[in-house]
Amino acid sequence: MNKSTEQTLWGLLENITENLKGKRLADVFRFVSFCPSETYGPHKHLRIEINYVKKGNCILHLDDESVTFREGEIMIITSSINHLFEAGSEGTTLMQLEFLPEVFSYFNFKSEGGTAAFIPVTLFSEGNRLIKIVNNVCIMRVVQRIVNELELKSQYYQYLVVMYYAELLILIYRYMDESYLPICTNDSLKKAIAYIRFNYQSEITMNDVAEYAGISERYLRRLFSQYLNLSPLDYLNQMRINKAVELLRNTEMSVKEVCYLCGFQSPQYFSRIFKQQMGLSPREVAK
């Protein structure tokens, strides 16, 4: 890195930290435990809230739906969304991070033509008021690094935190690209994708997906073919393999453990589908 590039990088980091309101890189950063069935709320706030379920399980209640989160899963709650937290029957421990949306507003990604490709804050909108993330070790580790830096406050910690926020935003966008559909897609297809996304770890059938979406299996297959150019089962397996790759590369889990955690009922079938999609065996990816 030459001197001018170094000065530009440090200048950018200094500018971001100086311009954050009150220089608050986060309003909440902690590990917190809740007693069995303990509730908190209902409430809402301007902050974006990220909770990683470190232990136990919990339910997040919104005005018109309730979503269950298990150990290892992440919830991202948008600004100004009314929500109530309820701990599971055995209690819950969370890693919490809450920050104002303006933290992300400094990362305006540009397209090749020089115009804004997207505005990061729009990711956290009414349309994405609650994002559920399952088995994403990379996002969990970035959140943990932010919390650790904010707690320790070692020299230059604020610059590291800003860079971690940029990494966090990119990882969330990557997750959204892999797991969500464009806004313009069919409502029934959105429901089907949401069901698969939230239940891919379970032994689900395409009939289950079609029933949830309120359509026939035949129409379900037609929608997937029209919008995604693949079958519902192919999409389910694609999601499972994406999660399996992440776990194999970022954890010490065995191939068999990853197989069952990602919803496959047979290690042999898992290995066959994995090699079809990745061109490598699970053991080769895990090396």
Q: Which domains does the chain have, with CATH numbers?
A: 3-179 (2.60.120.280), 187-286 (1.10.10.60)
- Checking if the pLDDT of 184 tops 50, the result is no
pTM of the entire predicted model? 0.65
- Give the β-pairing of 39-43 and 66-70: unpaired
Distance CA 39, CA 235 (A): 36
Report pLDDT digits (tens) over 71-125.
998 999 988 899 999 999 899 999 999 988 887 776 755 444 444 444 444 566 6
Positive or negative torsion for Cα 16, 20, 22, 25 = negative
Report pLDDT digits (tens) over 33-65.
999 999 998 999 889 999 999 999 999 998 877
Task: Find the Cα–Cα–Cα–Cα dihedral 275, 256, 143, 112, rounded to 10°.
Answer: 0
CA 240 to chain centre: 15
